[in-house]
Amino acid sequence: MCLCAGRDHRRGLAVPRHHRKRTGGSQRASGIAELREPRTQERSHVTDDHRTPAGLRRANTAAALRAVLDAGPLPRADLTERLGLAAGTVSRIVAPLVAAGLLRELPAVPGAGGRPRIPVDLVPRARYAIGVHVGRQRTTAGLVDLRGRVHQVRTHERSPGHIPQLIEGAADLVTDLRKEAGTVPVLGVGVATGGWVEPATGVVVDNEALGWRNVPLRALLTRALGPDLPVLVDSGARAQATAEVWFGCARGAETSVHLFTGNVIDAALAMGRRIHTGARSAAGMIGHLPVGAAGPACACGRRGVLQAVASDRAVVDAAANAGIVTADEGLARLHVLAATGTEAADRLLRERARQIGTAVAHLVDLFDPSLIVLSGGVLPYTDEVRDEAARLVGGSWEPDRVRPTALGPHALAASSGALLLSAYYADPLAYETADATRVAERPGRP
């Protein structure tokens, strides 16, 4: 038994119902439907009215799967209490999830009055998402399971601005990972890159590191991969914020900000699991935030802005100009020199961390978040970031509100995959196959 819409049996992939090609009558072209969404939201594919039986079942199924993700293993009685639904309704939700392999029943445990309770838990590798991160010179892709863990990683080295080469390389990585998944269904592809990204259209409006303007990344990848595989695209910072609130150290945080430091510097604001994109999908583009530091002019013409003095490229350029490293050696070599006692390298990286700390102080003043999560090349200097932010904010500042990412060594793949997984958890039935949808949506069921 399976759960929803339509399956490409040749590839074993779950295909969302609203992405299938219709036949007869008014036929529409196959392909990935535009996913227009509110600007501040938990990404969702739910289109049914929740007041209808079908809409309620979809919403309740999503809520049940999220509850087990967050608190599993859970006996059905505990799940019933968490969801506020009748026991019979929960049983009818859980049964097809177990039959489809998404949940599994564990051995019974004693309950109140001696009655056995059978917990259910998520089967993480029952489905995969593929996460693809498009960096300046490297594309990274990984298989990501339902708990956000990365199981396989592939990379493709390339020149920064050659779009056809980039798309071909990314498609090859995805194809390779689909083979690695074997018979496990692949739900779709989440793609993240730096800069200004419009998630509703999948267009990269501006990525300075890649030299991109208005590149239709989702459309290009969809054309390369075929219409059977959903593709979602968003900014790297919003992808990492998504991963942190679903699977990382920001789970349960009322508000959090993710601050990524790489060849671009971006931030993302989350309210619970809702990621704020802004009126133009430009929220979090803090690269032009003034930090008061002397340095080279930014591409925008201003000096003393964060991108021009604290990005990876800016730091490597400064180190090369000072004769500490060559331009080809890059940031990794600079970190090695700093760790092995080269004072000039360490001093340069500490200064970069203080500039990031200034940006953190601005974010605290603007949003007063429960948590600020750092990722990227500044992580070895997290203490310096905290100290500078504390100095500037003062008052009742709590330095432990700044934390390093919990996403591990494959954060780029994990965060890109989280874009797809967050959409899946918002409406899992949209991504599943036909038989169990008919069971779940049978008339007369509550």
Q: Encode pLDDT of 401-440 as tens digits.
A: 999 999 999 999 999 999 999 999 999 999 985 332 232 2
Contact 420, 129 (CB under 8 A): yes
Contact 282, 196 (CB under 8 A): yes
Tell me which CATH code domain 6-22+29-34+42-124+432-440 carries: 1.10.10.10
Question: Domain 253-404 has what CATH class?
Answer: alpha beta
What is d(CA 289, CA 293) in angstroms, rounded to the nearest whole number? 11
Question: Domain 126-240+410-422 has what CATH class?
Answer: alpha beta
Cα dihedral 217, 220, 223, 226 in deg (nearest 10): -30
In the chain, what are the domain boundaries? Answer: 6-22+29-34+42-124+432-440, 126-240+410-422, 253-404
Q: Encode pLDDT of 373-387 as tens digits.
A: 999 999 999 999 999
Q: Encode pLDDT of 60-117 as tens digits.
A: 999 999 999 999 999 999 999 999 999 999 999 999 999 999 999 999 887 766 678 8
- DSSP one-letter code for 108: P
With bands split at pLDDT 50, 70 and 90, how would you rate the model's confidence at 353? very high
pLDDT reported for residue 297: 65
Contact 62, 428 (CB under 8 A): yes
CB atoms within 10 A of CB 42: 20
pLDDT reported for residue 432: 85
Q: Between these two residues, 23 and 335, which has the higher pLDDT value?
A: 335
CB atoms within 10 A of CB 392: 16
With bands split at pLDDT 50, 70 and 90, how would you rate the model's confidence at 293? low
What is d(CA 270, CA 281) in angstroms, rounded to the nearest whole number? 14
Measuring CA to CA, which residue among 179, 104, 196 is closest to residue 146?
104
Fold match flag (6-22+29-34+42-124+432-440 vs 253-404): no
